[in-house]
């Protein structure tokens, strides 16, 4: 079975499955629509079609992928089966023989359908508006301090100015005016490499921003593929046939024929504009910075286009379900590229880049660190902030079990590595400056070294409040605010009351942080930087490496320089409270708590 060919096919499928609800009441794209979306996704509710968006002639749809079931409906079982076949091909096809080729004929047939096919008549070219008049687009402003409305599911397509390949990425697009937008290309991303190459040559970089189209395009745009693997290859594999493309006289780039919209323009060398703030997927605002300015000269669109959008914030949002699906889908490729890695998982509750765990081979002493360096050097995994490694097969998705397993085996004196002054995810503000930070690796290998404490009966000084056990070996302690007591983590590490605990996490609210694995992951790993926020009873320099004598204290308090945590503004919250029955007059859509998302 081939994949869905465009947004319309996905919407029809969701409609048949009872997974799409239309809202006929007029809804404001400025804050109101996003809060409706957040409350619906917090309750595990359906995709939403906003038929009447204030100020726009076109509708918008959100929450397309907001549950595991809808992701499975959108892509089906075929992509996973195909990836498993491809990953096994080096073993099943080599050495080649006619018999082996015949056995793999379905795989070979799929490979003949990758790439593009040119079409003469494309839905996206039914209207080509010049000037673009971008203010007509029903773009959402999702949080009160956002710098403006954004395209939140953009498919940004660029080509290397010297013919060295293409890139399809998802870089948020802030609408600045009727003919200009921001282009949030981060360091280490393909679009950013293309722009840097064009600027070195003194050339403008043509850009296409597609909205909508085959769901496979969206999946490919967010996939953490190696730099030299084109996203178009993955998209056509997932779709099961070549991607339909078309040409416009207004752009040198091929267009995705079945998109709903396509913004055509270019970035001039060195031209930048303030972009943001933006409430991001870490659950905090990313701040305003200068980013490339995209000058849009043409807006292509269908005769009756539908804008698809998403809303990000505290976990779990729509990006979480797509991210987890992608990890499962691409794991066979990761294991093929890194043979010593037996399993790999990044935790969406931390924004993915903040924490990854892996099961690796350990056939000789310290071989695990070879795998650690390989993981930290592999594409987008290079943005990982903290890495847990073990050599025992276990379910990495069960985080409390993983943490207990590692803590029962780690010798903090030799098994904890901290690397300072490195690149960091642009959206993670825990480091000393944007794009700067550190990484940590903790090994939990071999046989169990200790029994883990599971109850806390110690007495803490008055400045430390409640203490709660998250899992065996991990104690969560509530401390004074960082501004009032910046050295509290070091003080806590020296207390006899916590001496038997391998890991102590210092937080602002112990009850909230320890209430669930989602709460713990989000609180602990989005609010710390390894080189600055790991403390111990004693730290010595042994053979040019920090050697920690436990307990290890992770300071996960909010720091004064961190951006604000995301909350709906009171006026919008009251508006949505009042209008809920207008949106859903039949009363079949539950209202969740948008302030918490899926936090307990």
CB 221 within 8 A of CB 155: yes
User: What digits encode the pLDDT tens for the residues 466-511?
Assistant: 999 999 999 999 999 999 999 999 999 999 999 999 999 999 999 9
Distance, in Å, from the CA atom of 59 to the CA atom of 53, rounded to the nearest integer, reads 6
Domain end among 411, 444, 477: 444
User: What's the whole-number mean pLDDT along residues 311-322?
Assistant: 94
- In a shared domain, residues 440 and 471: no
Specify if 331 maps to a domain. no
Distance, in Å, from the CA atom of 230 to the CA atom of 377, rounded to the nearest integer, reads 19
**Three-state secondary structure along 297-323?**
EEEEECCCCCEECCCCCCCCCHHHHHH
- In a shared domain, residues 369 and 482: no
The answer to whether residue 525 scores a pLDDT higher than 70 is yes
Output the pLDDT for position 93: 63
With CA atoms as reference, report the closest residue to 474 among 416, 535, 403: 403
Distances (CA, A) of 573 to 564, 576, 577: 18, 5, 6
**Three-state secondary structure along 4-48?**
CCCHHHHHHHHHHCCCEEEECCCECCECHHHHHHHHHHHCCCCEE
- Residues with Cβ within 8 Å of 521's Cβ and at least 6 positions away in sequence, in order, are 315, 347, 349, 350, 355, 399
- In DSSP notation, 383-425 reads G-SEEEEESS---TT-HHHHHHHHHTT--HHHHEEEEEEEE--
- In a shared domain, residues 283 and 383: no
CB 48 within 8 A of CB 11: no
Specify if 255 maps to a domain. yes
Distance, in Å, from the CA atom of 598 to the CA atom of 69, rounded to the nearest integer, reads 17
Specify if 488 maps to a domain. yes
Specify if 565 maps to a domain. no
- Alpha-helix runs per DSSP H in 164-301: 190-200, 215-222, 231-239
Domain end among 261, 288, 308: 308
- In a shared domain, residues 37 and 144: yes
Domain end among 402, 429, 444: 444
Distances (CA, A) of 289 to 24, 182, 353: 37, 11, 21
Q: Count of domains in the chain?
A: 3
Specify if 420 maps to a domain. yes
Q: Residue 181 sits in which domain range?
A: 7-308
The answer to whether residue 88 scores a pLDDT higher than 90 is no
Query: Domain with 89 in it: what CATH number?
Result: 2.30.110.10
- In a shared domain, residues 414 and 473: no
Residue 459 φ/ψ, nearest 5 degrees: -115, 125
- In a shared domain, residues 181 and 269: yes
pTM equals: 0.93
Specify if 173 maps to a domain. yes
Distances (CA, A) of 546 to 414, 440, 543: 9, 12, 8
Distances (CA, A) of 425 to 185, 358, 385, 437: 12, 20, 8, 9
User: What's the whole-number mean pLDDT along residues 167-189?
Assistant: 93
**Three-state secondary structure along 54-96?**
CCCCCCEEECCCCCHHHHHHHHCCHHHHHHHHHHHHHHHCCCC
Taking the CA atoms of 112, 116, 119 and 121 in sequence, report the sign of the dihedral they define.
positive
Q: pLDDT confidence of 85, banded at 50, 70, 90?
A: confident
- In a shared domain, residues 440 and 489: no
Specify if 401 maps to a domain. yes
Specify if 453 maps to a domain. no
- In a shared domain, residues 94 and 235: yes
Query: Domain with 410 in it: what CATH number?
Result: 3.40.1670.10
User: What digits encode the pLDDT tens for the residues 98-135?
Assistant: 665 556 666 666 676 778 899 989 999 999 999 999 99
């Amino acid at each position: 079975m081939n994949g869905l060919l465009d947004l319309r096919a996905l919407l029809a499928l969701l409609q048949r499955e009872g997974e799409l609800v239309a809202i006929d009441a007029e809804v404001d794209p400025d804050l109101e629509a996003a809060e409706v979306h957040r409350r619906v996704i917090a309750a595990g509710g359906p995709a939403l079609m906003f038929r009447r968006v204030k100020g726009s002639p076109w509708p918008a749809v959100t929450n397309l992928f907001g549950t595991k079931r809808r992701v499975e409906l959108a892509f089906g079982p075929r992509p996973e089966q195909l990836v498993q076949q491809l990953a096994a091909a080096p073993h099943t096809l080599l050495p080649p023989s006619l018999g082996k080729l015949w056995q793999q004929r379905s795989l070979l047939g799929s490979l003949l359908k990758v790439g593009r096919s040119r079409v003469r008549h494309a839905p996206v070219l039914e209207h080509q508006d010049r000037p673009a008049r971008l203010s007509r687009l029903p773009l959402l402003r999702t949080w009160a301090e956002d710098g403006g409305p954004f395209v939140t599911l953009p498919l940004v397509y660029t080509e290397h100015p010297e013919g060295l390949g293409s890139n399809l990425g998802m870089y948020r697009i802030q609408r600045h005016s009727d003919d200009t937008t921001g282009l949030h290309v981060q360091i280490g991303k393909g679009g950013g490499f293309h722009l840097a190459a064009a600027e070195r040559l003194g050339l403008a970089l043509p850009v296409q921003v597609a909205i909508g189209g085959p769901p496979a395009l969206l999946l490919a745009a967010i996939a953490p593929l190696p730099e030299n693997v084109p996203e178009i290859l993955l998209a056509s594999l997932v779709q099961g046939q070549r991607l339909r493309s078309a040409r416009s006289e207004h752009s040198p780039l091929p267009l995705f024929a079945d998109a709903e919209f396509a913004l055509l323009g270019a970035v001039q060398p060195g031209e930048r504009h303030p972009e943001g703030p933006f409430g991001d997927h870490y659950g905090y605002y990313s701040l305003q910075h200068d980013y490339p300015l995209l000058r849009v000269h043409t807006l292509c669109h269908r005769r009756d286009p539908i804008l698809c959008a998403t809303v990000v914030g505290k976990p779990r949002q729509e990006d979480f379900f797509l991210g987890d699906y992608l990890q499962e889908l691409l794991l066979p490729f990761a294991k093929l590229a890194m043979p010593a890695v037996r399993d790999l998982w990044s935790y969406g509750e931390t924004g993915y880049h903040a924490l990854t765990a892996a099961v690796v081979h350990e056939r000789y002493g310290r071989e695990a660190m070879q795998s650690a360096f390989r993981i930290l050097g592999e594409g987008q995994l290079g943005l990982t902030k903290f890495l847990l490694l073990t050599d025992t097969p276990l379910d990495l998705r069960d985080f409390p079990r993983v943490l207990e397993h590692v803590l029962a085996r780690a010798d903090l004196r030799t098994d904890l590595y901290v690397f300072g002054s490195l690149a960091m995810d642009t959206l993670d503000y825990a480091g000393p400056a944007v794009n700067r930070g550190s990484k940590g690796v903790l090994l939990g290998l071999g046989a169990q070294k200790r029994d883990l404490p599971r109850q806390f009966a110690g007495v803490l000084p008055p400045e430390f409040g409640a203490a709660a056990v998250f899992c065996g070996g991990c104690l969560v302690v509530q401390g004074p605010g960082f501004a009032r007591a910046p050295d509290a983590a070091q003080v806590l590490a020296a207390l006899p009351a916590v001496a038997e605990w391998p890991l102590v996490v210092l937080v602002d609210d112990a009850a909230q942080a320890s209430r669930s694995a989602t709460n713990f992951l989000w609180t602990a790993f989005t609010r710390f930087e390894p080189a600055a926020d790991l403390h111990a009873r004693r730290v010595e320099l042994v053979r040019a490496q920090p050697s920690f004598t436990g307990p290890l204290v992770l300071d996960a308090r909010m720091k004064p320089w961190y951006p604000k945590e995301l909350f709906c503004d009171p006026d919008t919250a009251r508006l949505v409270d009042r209008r809920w029955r207008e949106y859903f007059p039949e009363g079949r859509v539950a209202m969740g708590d948008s302030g918490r998302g899926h936090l307990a």
